[in-house]
Structure 1
Amino acid sequence: MVDKQITIYVISDSIGETGELIARAAIRQFVSNKYEIRRYPYIQNEEQIKEIFSDAKNGNSLVLYTTVSEKTRDYIHMQGIESNIPTIDIMTPPLKALEKILGYPPKRESGIIRRLDENYFRKVEAVEFAVKYDDGKDTRGIKKADICLVGVSRTSKTPLSMYLAHKNFKVANVPLVPEVLPPDELFQKDKRRVIGLVADPYKLNEIRQERLKTLGLNFTANYANVDRINAELEYSRDIMKKLGCIVIDVSNSAIEETAGIIIDHMTKNFGERILL
């Protein structure tokens, strides 16, 4: 048995990864190594399709295509018949089956998977950013961050950072402690991107006592002392005033509520939108 050289053309109105994977999976069911896969992404007009079929006429060819446009699909099918080249429509059978089950037609928007993938990786990047620049561990994050949260301990900086990261915002958070000067980078940051967080001192006292309890420490520690907490809050408000940032009281707000205020603030100032 003599293998024939075959060229598989993959035409797509997006990046064409799906078509290429199917082509490779199919050809590997044969022992032949005499093949070539040519991928043509973002194909949307008839002239491009004509050129591909003109080239495909020069040998043993097969055309696989993934397109959601009915017009493009029909044109590829017609070109295949006219050129006597077999064509395989990868998208139509599953789309028709799903339409029959769901009872409504598909969106027929190209590149949806890629947009979802890009959004997913942006979210992962934002979460990794929040972890890396949590609790002022590296002040370089202040400059890179979309949002910088500042406040005393237990004002929800870390959970807020993670929640906002899942909305694709890169967030750094910096604790404000009277004994430690705030990093210079904070004062160089666009004040609209700095968010100050405060809370009722007695609410903070309760939260800090619970924190000490989980650590097995005594409630009399200075960390949970109301006078100390008041001093910290006074110091933090003074810093926030110097920064010129907005200040949010998180005493009785859920993380989602505080995040909503921050996102509204970002939208108002920068037109930034949540990418779900």
Structure 2
Amino acid sequence: MTKELSEMPVIYIISDALGETAEYVSRAAAAQFSGVRTKIRKIPYVQDEIHIDEIIEEAVKEQAIIVYTLVVKRLRTYLEEKAQELGLDTVDILGPLINILADKTNLAPSYTPNVTHLLDEQYFRKVEAIEFAVKYDDGKDPRGVLLADVVLIGVSRTSKTPLSMYLAHKGIKAANIPLVPEVSPPQELFQISGQKVVGLTLKPDLLNQIRTERLRTLGLGASADYANYQRIVEELEYARGIMRKVSCPVIDATGKAIEETASRILEILYKGDRND
């Protein structure tokens, strides 16, 4: 017989960090019971036995299930003993896996709470770089040119935005500037070293195909100036002139995957290799 909705147990999530992992697992499990709304109470940054006592006192009143990600072994043991005394069910998310890894590696775990965020500075740099790439995409704010680790320049549809986002996931702050004959590039582009700028280009035939398909997707005719072959040749020549003026390396991305072009950009940034 299906239980009434009111009978669905409350889940207490206890963690010495944010408790995101335990919450995700709990919600994934609860989602298997269609139509049931589960009450989840998350208690992060639990650091001592006194706090555990307070939580368990509340959990007993609701006969809650306790799901936890406590790294410190002392606190895990204390929580398990207290919960068992009072007849509460517990689920240890991290403990069993830590124990298995210790057995397999013959190494002693550090038992350091929140260690992933304490050690992973690259995580925060990546988030910052992604926000940067969004803010300074497509020349929206030329001030980003002065703040970027790398500035990508090129005509429309040379993959400047996808490359900026890919590099952002590597922790690289990338701004990008579209080059259009009718619009002068921002002065900031000429105020930075050419070593921080990378020009992107494609063969005219490929760019014509990409733009034609783009127009088709938008429901526009392929005869539009945007996909005109001669116009594309002129744009590419104009862009080449800007790249020469900036004195930056140029990558022909024809036939290259985003990952391959991004790898080439990283080589240029870190090795100073300017030849395509």
Deviation at 1:112, TM superposition (A): 4.6
Pair 1:107–1:148, CA change in 2 (3 A): farther
Cα deviation, 1:214-272, whole Å, max 9, x if unaligned, reads 100000000001100000000000000000000000111100000001111111149xx
Structure with larger Rg: 1
What is the SS of the residue equivalent to 1:264?
A: helix
- Pick which of 221-230 and 116-125 moved more: 116-125
User: Partners of 2:142 and 2:173 in 1: how far apart?
Assistant: 14
The AA in structure 1 aligned to 2:245 is K
| 8 Å contact kept, 1:95–1:106 | no
Cα deviation, 1:29-48, whole Å, max 9, x if unaligned, reads 377xxxxxxxxxxxxxxxxx
Describe how 1:160-171 pairs up with structure 2 within 5 A. 160-171=163-174
Pair 1:21–1:118, CA change in 2 (3 A): farther
Indicate which of 37, 46, 58 corresponds to 1:21: 46
User: Partners of 1:236 and 1:229 in 2: how far apart?
Assistant: 10
The AA in structure 2 aligned to 1:29 is I
Q: Could you list the runs of 5+ residues in structure 1 that have no partner in the other structure? A: 1-15, 32-63, 68-90, 271-276
User: Partners of 2:168 and 2:159 in 1: how far apart?
Assistant: 14
Pair 1:254–1:94, CA change in 2 (3 A): closer
* Residue 255 (structure 1) aligned with residue 258 (structure 2): yes
| 8 Å contact kept, 1:151–1:198 | yes
Deviation at 1:119, TM superposition (A): 2.0
The AA in structure 2 aligned to 1:213 is R
Pair 1:65–1:215, CA change in 2 (3 A): closer
Deviation at 1:27, TM superposition (A): 3.9
Cα deviation, 1:181-212, whole Å, max 9, x if unaligned, reads 01000000121110000110010000000100
Pair 1:66–1:30, CA change in 2 (3 A): closer
| 8 Å contact kept, 1:149–1:172 | yes
What is the SS of the residue equivalent to 1:210?
A: helix
Deviation at 1:21, TM superposition (A): 1.7
Pair 1:166–1:116, CA change in 2 (3 A): farther
* Residue 105 (structure 1) aligned with residue 107 (structure 2): yes
What is the SS of the residue equivalent to 1:177?
A: coil
User: Partners of 2:191 and 2:172 in 1: how far apart?
Assistant: 20
User: Partners of 1:254 and 1:150 in 2: how far apart?
Assistant: 18
What is the SS of the residue equivalent to 2:130?
A: helix
User: Partners of 2:119 and 2:230 in 1: how far apart?
Assistant: 50
* Residue 143 (structure 1) aligned with residue 146 (structure 2): yes
User: Partners of 2:130 and 2:211 in 1: how far apart?
Assistant: 26
The AA in structure 1 aligned to 2:242 is I
What percentage of aligned pairs have identical amino acids?
Answer: 51
